[in-house]
């Protein structure tokens, strides 16, 4: 009887060590791709700047 109790205790004890252990550390956060959106913002800014320069030049010539 003692032997069976020892084996049951050993099996359950080894099975519960994973339950009591600490969780693994979190993974590193993913990197954000900056190039895609940033290039669209730069292209939009350049386009808007050219538009404003042409508009200012046109308005200045009318005066």
Calculate the CA dihedral of residues 35, 40, 41, 45 and round it to 10 degrees.
Answer: 130
Q: What does the alpha-carbon distance between residue 27 and residue 31 come to, in Å, rounded to a whole number?
A: 12
Q: What does the alpha-carbon distance between residue 49 and residue 41 come to, in Å, rounded to a whole number?
A: 12
Q: What does the alpha-carbon distance between residue 53 and residue 42 come to, in Å, rounded to a whole number?
A: 16
Domain extent listing, the chain: 36-63
| pLDDT per residue as tens digits for the range 3-62 | 999 988 888 877 776 666 677 888 887 776 667 788 889 999 999 999 999 999 888 775
Q: State the distance between the two ends of the chain, measured CA to CA, in whole angstroms.
A: 109
Backbone phi, psi, residue 27, to 5°:
-80, 165
pTM value is 0.43
């Amino acid at each position: 009887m003692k032997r069976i109790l020892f084996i049951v205790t050993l099996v359950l004890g080894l099975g519960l060590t994973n339950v009591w252990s600490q969780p693994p550390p979190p993974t590193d956060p993913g990197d954000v791709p900056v190039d895609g959106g940033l290039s669209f913002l730069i292209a939009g800014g350049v386009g808007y700047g050219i538009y404003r320069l042409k508009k200012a030049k046109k308005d200045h010539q009318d005066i």
